[in-house]
Amino acid sequence: MISQISRHAPSGLELERRAFRRGRERRSVLVAIASSLVFAAIIWATVINTPGWAGVQQAFFDPAIAVQSLPKIWDGFLINLQVLGFSLVTVSVVALVIAVLRTVRGPVFFPLRVLAAAYTDLFRGLPFIIVLYLIGFGVPTIMNTRIPVVVLGVVAITLTYSSYVAEVLRAGIEAVHPSQRLAARALGLGYVQTLRRVVLPQAVRKVTPPLMNDFISMQKDVGLISILGAIDAIAAARSSASLSYNFTPYVVAGILFILLAIPTIRLTDWYTARLREREQQGSIL
């Protein structure tokens, strides 16, 4: 085909238009940079000149105490990561099962649907801290044994977060247009095959941003296992804060959690943008 070889040389008018667009882009980039700098300078000046800033700096941002407390907080943070890793797997599985149970049709499944609905109602309504107390202190008491805090934490997080994630997944499943099920069933795919191959992949894409919200919120809530007596990042921060009468260790732990969240956020932004690019052609106005 000739068209593959010949590259059209743009006309003078088109070159002019491109130059105009580039100029406009350049100008908006410059405006953005300038306004960011001005904004940053204003914030900086305001913070520095606020009365009591020196006290705040000393109590919250003491570099020496930060360095000193970091190793212990880091060790504790690894426990948080452990709980997070396990919970990620269990929440995914449990939430998926509940979401699917919520969407199965047919009168036979009525009790299952009701149970699944009741579960999501209950655990979305119940404050996480109550779940944590009941599981963390209640279960070992009834069973009269010592259960590792990591296990208790994973169970509590799974119970609560599965209910949120299940509802998000259900919303995604229901947002897939019925014609997609129709097309899959027409190819001879069964109910489960249709769900797994056609409906769920599209559903997950639709709800990736809210799923990420839940994931990030879970990353933070693993810090609550410190109230069960685990020496996690927050508990470690608390002990060094009380030793030094300084709040810097909390800030250090906080920064670790923020650093944990940022890659996840950026990664999903990048991934969803890539999927969009692959599946859609043409400009979006």
Rounded distance between C-alpha atoms, residue 215 and residue 267, angstroms: 13
Q: Does 105 bind other proteins (CB under 8 A)?
A: no
Q: Does 143 bind other proteins (CB under 8 A)?
A: no
Q: Does 283 bind other proteins (CB under 8 A)?
A: yes
Nearest distance, CB of residue 134 and other proteins, angstroms? 42
- Residue with smaller CB distance to other proteins, 2 or 143: 2
- Give the CA distances from residue 53 to residues 38, 215, 245, 258, 276, in Å, rounded to whole numbers and listed in that order: 21, 35, 18, 23, 46
Place of tokens 């690019």: 277
SS3 content of the chain, % helix, strand, coil (to 5): 85, 0, 15
Q: Which helix (H) or strand (E) holds 218?
A: helix 208-221
- Residue with smaller CB distance to other proteins, 23 or 229: 23
- Residue with smaller CB distance to other proteins, 94 or 207: 207
Nearest distance, CB of residue 2 and other proteins, angstroms? 9
- The stretch near other proteins (CB under 8 A) out of 6-14, 48-56, 116-124, 265-273 is 6-14
Q: Does 183 bind other proteins (CB under 8 A)?
A: no
Q: Does 13 bind other proteins (CB under 8 A)?
A: yes
Sign for the pseudo-dihedral over CA of 187, 192, 195, 197: negative
- Residue with smaller CB distance to other proteins, 2 or 142: 2
Q: Does 11 bind other proteins (CB under 8 A)?
A: yes
- Residue with smaller CB distance to other proteins, 49 or 283: 283
Rounded distance between C-alpha atoms, residue 89 and residue 82, angstroms: 11
- The stretch near other proteins (CB under 8 A) out of 2-10, 40-48, 205-213, 235-243 is 2-10
With 0-12 CB in 10 A as exposed, 13-18 as middle and 19+ as buried, what is 90?
middle
Amino acid identity at 226 = S
Residue 193 backbone zone (phi > 0: left; psi -120 to 50: alpha; other: beta):
alpha
Tell me the CB-side half-sphere exposure of residue 254, using CA atoms within 13 A: 7
Q: Does 186 bind other proteins (CB under 8 A)?
A: no
Contact 167, 124 (CB under 8 A): yes
Count of residues of this chain found to bind other proteins when the rule CB under 8 A is applied: 18
Q: Which residues of 38-53 are buried (b: 16+ CB within 10 A; e: fewer)?
A: eeeeeeeeeeeeeeee
Q: Does 10 bind other proteins (CB under 8 A)?
A: yes
16-75 residues in contact with other proteins (CB under 8 A) are 16-17, 20-21, 24
- Residue with smaller CB distance to other proteins, 20 or 53: 20
Closest to 123 measured CA to CA, from 86, 96, 148, 156: 156
- Residue with smaller CB distance to other proteins, 141 or 283: 283
Nearest distance, CB of residue 170 and other proteins, angstroms? 19
Residues that bind other proteins (CB under 8 A): 1, 3-4, 6, 8, 10-11, 13-14, 16-17, 20-21, 24, 281-283, 285
